[in-house]
Amino acid sequence: MTPMIESMLNEFRGESAITKRVLAKVPADRLTWKPHPKSMSLGQLALHIAANPGSVSNIAQQDEFDAAQINFNPPEPRNLEEIHATFEQSVSAGERCLGEMTEQQATGNWRLTLNGRQIFVKPRVAVLREIMLSHWYHHRGQLSVYLRLLDIPVPTIYGPSADENPLA
């Protein structure tokens, strides 16, 4: 395993633990709640976060992906169990993808198209960094705001939150 991928895998493992803590705060009785009509519901956002590493791992193993296949309206989960089961499967897929990636695969080009039109070409490792990791963190941040708006204690993410202080 290359140092670049090993570093990313270690980061992924740490961030998975943080994400699991945040997802554990999602209340079963508020899954359909939305902070705004244009926003995803709490359940949609939680399921999107849960599924992200696995979904990105699947498409990143291909040489190209047509964005026309993406459903930009995430489904509503049936319950919390679906979110947590999706998360466990997704993290497992992300670990497998990163753990089995060769340097040649990591540095090889990956293409995003839309109905056959090229949107971009980037090294696969950049796609994993941007879409699997940075995109994941972005939505996890969104979820922490949803929790705050619902007056649910926000867990520690990178340090103390207003509700939890691991340093105390």
Which superfamily, per CATH, for 3-149?
A: dinb family like domain (1.20.120.450)
pLDDT reported for residue 66: 95
Per the CB < 8 A criterion, the answer to whether 94 and 55 are in contact is no
In this structure, what DSSP letter does residue 129 have?
A: I
List helix spans (H) across 24-152.
42-60, 80-100, 103-107, 124-127, 135-149
Q: In the chain, what percentage of residues exceed pLDDT 70?
A: 100
Exposure b/e, 107-129, CB count within 10 A at least 16 = b = eeebebeeeeeeeeeeebbebbb
Find residue 110's DSSP bridge partners. 122
> pLDDT tens across 75-128, in order?
999 999 999 999 999 999 999 999 999 999 999 999 999 999 999 999 999 999
- Within 10 A of 157 (CB to CB), how many other CB atoms are there? 17
pTM: 0.94
